């Protein structure tokens, strides 16, 4: 592994150049860097990693309760509770926007057609739910497709306008 002297500023602070010269003169460079690296990991990286693991474990446990309830019955209270907690919207908002980003690289051409149909169907159902609830909120969706780096600049990322009509959603756009 190659470490640039400038990378050591994170471990030694602004005086890293002086520290490097002192370590080299005493032939302590590896030991000092290793000690600082370990201290940095123990105080900065490890606690955050543990916190993330705890959060992931909590989310996993919630998901397992949901999946077990779903296997028993799609109408079980834990299923409804989980779906409502994961899919809340700010009803104070007048516009609900969702951006759908799709992989349109060459290997995904078959899946892109299926995705267009699924997303369009999802948009229609969400639109119907808002109408059934006589909601004053407006649902808008925008679609974006990204391509391989070998594509021309104008094809690398394509975006539709924000759509409010489910019939004019993704199916009305010509994604090449």
> 56-82 pLDDT, tens per residue?
999 899 888 888 888 888 777 877 787
Q: Are 137 and 93 in contact (CB under 8 A)?
A: yes
Residue in this structure with the two tokens 């094809």, named with its chain if needed: 155
- Number of compact structural domains in the chain: 2
Residue 91 has pLDDT above 70, yes or no: no
pLDDT computed for residue 60 by the predictor: 92
Same-domain check for residues 116 and 77: no
88, 113, 148 - which closes a domain: 88
Same-domain check for residues 59 and 33: yes
pLDDT computed for residue 57 by the predictor: 93
Same-domain check for residues 121 and 109: yes
As a whole number, mean pLDDT of residues 16-23 equals 82
20, 55, 88 - which closes a domain: 88
Instruction: Name the residue with higher pLDDT: 171 or 29.
Output: 29
Instruction: Name the residue with higher pLDDT: 113 or 48.
Output: 48
Same-domain check for residues 56 and 1: yes
Same-domain check for residues 80 and 103: no
Domain containing 128 equals: 90-172
CB atoms within 10 A of CB 74: 9
Least confident span in 34-38, 44-48, 80-84? 80-84
52, 69, 88 - which closes a domain: 88
Number of residues that make up the chain: 176
> 132-157 pLDDT, tens per residue?
877 777 888 888 888 887 888 888 88
Same-domain check for residues 5 and 76: yes
Same-domain check for residues 61 and 118: no
Same-domain check for residues 75 and 97: no
């Amino acid at each position: 592994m190659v470490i640039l002297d400038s990378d050591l500023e994170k471990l030694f602070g602004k005086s890293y150049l002086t520290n490097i010269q002192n370590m080299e003169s005493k032939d302590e460079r590896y030991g000092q860097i290793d000690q600082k690296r370990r201290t940095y990991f123990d105080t900065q990286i490890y606690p955050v990693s543990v916190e993330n693991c705890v959060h992931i474990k909590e989310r996993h446990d919630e998901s397992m309760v949901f999946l077990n309830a779903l296997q028993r019955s799609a109408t079980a209270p834990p299923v409804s509770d989980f779906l409502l907690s994961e899919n809340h919207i700010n009803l104070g908002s007048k516009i609900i926007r969702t951006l759908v980003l799709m992989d349109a690289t060459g290997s995904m051409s078959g899946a892109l057609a299926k995705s267009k149909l699924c997303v369009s169907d999802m948009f229609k159902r969400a639109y119907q739910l808002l109408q059934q609830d006589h909601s004053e909120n407006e649902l808008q969706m925008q679609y974006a497709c990204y391509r391989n780096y070998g594509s021309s600049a104008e094809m690398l990322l394509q975006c539709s306008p924000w759509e409010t009509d489910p019939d004019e959603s993704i199916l009305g756009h010509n994604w090449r």
